[in-house]
Amino acid sequence: MQDSVSGQIADATAGKAMSNESLRLGQYWPPSTLYVVATPIGNLGDMSPRAITVLSAVDLIAAEDTRHSSSLCQYFSITTPMLACHEYNEAQAADQLIERLAKGQSVALISDAGTPLISDPGYAIVRRIREQGYRVSPVPGACALTSALSAAGLPTDRFSFEGFLPAKAGQREKRLRGLSQQTGSLIFYEAPHRIVASLTAMVDAFGPDREAVLARELTKRYETITDGSLASLLAEVTADKNQQRGEMVIIINGLAVTEAQRSEQELAADQVLMTLLSELPVKQATGLAVKLTGLKKNYLYNRAIDLVKDTS
Ligand code: SAM
């Protein structure tokens, strides 16, 4: 094995073993670099040639689960030594990686699947290593959230990745309620044993008609990407135990802009009504609110009655 990536590149440029796309594209491989390397999320065909090159050439691979990653490395004939780096020892692992970087070596970080740091360990390591002034370089590849979004047919111009929802029902509902007015697409990771509970909570928070997609087992044999209203997805998943298996991503369409605007207008109308109701009876407050907001009399009258009830 080479002493460092730069050593291997030197060999390669001297016409030895390695010929790969990255070299032809002229990538610069400085020493003392942490490479953050994406690995497949199910289909080994998604391992990039550059990921194989980097993992073969670095001096050490920090892996979330060394046993799991050993099979991947074996498959691609990568023999680089590994260091366990999971959420409970990140600080300690960072120290060991920094020691290597200080000697001019290069190291790589991988997780069990997909892109490290995306609902996976690595954040503390990347932050520490950058703080120490070392170079951190991504080797991009598979990621469940971008894979799901790319095939879902829901808006991609604005989206927010929400990761895993809290396991406790109350916290989960609160988080979802807080997201119900967002207009960009919302992306969640979910565990199979919680999918029915989460979809049920989503129907409550976003309404049964909100458009959504459930992307399961992406890149694998039983991949399914199902779209429909939240209520229809919940019905389908509840009725079919197979849909409750495997790895899954849920994407929910954002609140339609017109609906969001309406909500804002309604909130503003509530403010106006509350001010007027503190001084006037319902009928008069409604009459003035019609003039001030331009909203329909019936709507404002019913809203005024509700507000009076809420405050009494
Ligand atoms: N770092 C990974 C990435 O880049 O997507 C995510 C790791 S996180 C611990 C695992 C979660 O990602 C799963 O519970 C599931 O929600 C999602 N996931 C991973 N692989 C998937 C796949 N093949 N199909 C659908 N979702 C997947």
Q: How would residue 23 be classed by pLDDT, with cut points 50, 70 and 90?
A: very low
Bridge partner list, 248: 190, 216
Q: pLDDT tens across 241-275, in order?
A: 999 999 999 999 999 877 777 778 888 999 999 99
Helix (H) or strand (E) holding 5: helix 5-13
Q: What is the pLDDT of residue 6?
A: 44
Cα–Cα distance measured from residue 117 to residue 68, given in angstroms and rounded to the nearest whole number: 17
In three-state secondary structure terms, 83 is strand
Q: What separation in Å is there between the alpha carbon of 251 and the centre of ligand 1?
A: 13
The answer to whether 251 and 186 are in contact (CB under 8 A) is yes
The residues near 88 (Cβ < 8 Å, ≥ 6 apart) are none
Question: Which among 216, 197, 195, 234 is positioned nearest to 144, based on CA atoms?
Answer: 216
Is 145-252 in CATH node 3.30.950.10?
Answer: yes
The answer to whether 249 and 189 are in contact (CB under 8 A) is yes
Q: Report CA dihedral (226, 227, 230, 233) to the nearest 10 degrees.
A: -30
- 312: pLDDT strictly greater than 80: no
Q: What is the pLDDT of residue 52?
A: 95
- The separation between CA 70 and the C-alpha centre of its own chain, rounded to angstroms, equals 26
Q: How would residue 45 be classed by pLDDT, with cut points 50, 70 and 90?
A: very high
Cα–Cα distance measured from residue 61 to residue 189, given in angstroms and rounded to the nearest whole number: 26
The answer to whether 282 and 304 are in contact (CB under 8 A) is yes
Instruction: Report the atom number in ligand 1 closest to the C-alpha of 38.
Output: 4
The pick from 247, 250, 251 for probing ligand 1's pocket by mutation, whose C-beta has the most ligand atoms within 8 angstroms, reads: 247
The domain locations on the chain are 5-142, 145-252, 259-311
Is 5-142 in CATH node 3.30.70.260?
Answer: no
- Give yes or no for residue 64 CB within 6 A of ligand 1: no
- Give yes or no for residue 248 CB within 6 A of ligand 1: yes
How many residues appear in the chain? 312
Cα–Cα distance measured from residue 69 to residue 114, given in angstroms and rounded to the nearest whole number: 12
Q: What is the pLDDT of residue 26?
A: 54
- 8: pLDDT strictly greater than 50: no
Cα–Cα distance measured from residue 124 to residue 12, given in angstroms and rounded to the nearest whole number: 33
The stretches of 34-122 forming alpha helices (DSSP H) are: 49-57, 66-75, 90-102
- Give yes or no for residue 36 CB within 6 A of ligand 1: no
Q: Which of 44-58, 199-213, 248-262, 270-284 has the lowest mean pLDDT?
A: 248-262
Q: How would residue 63 be classed by pLDDT, with cut points 50, 70 and 90?
A: very high
Structure token digits, residue 5 = 């990536």
Domains 5-142 and 145-252 share a fold: no
The answer to whether 307 and 285 are in contact (CB under 8 A) is no
Bridge partner list, 225: 215
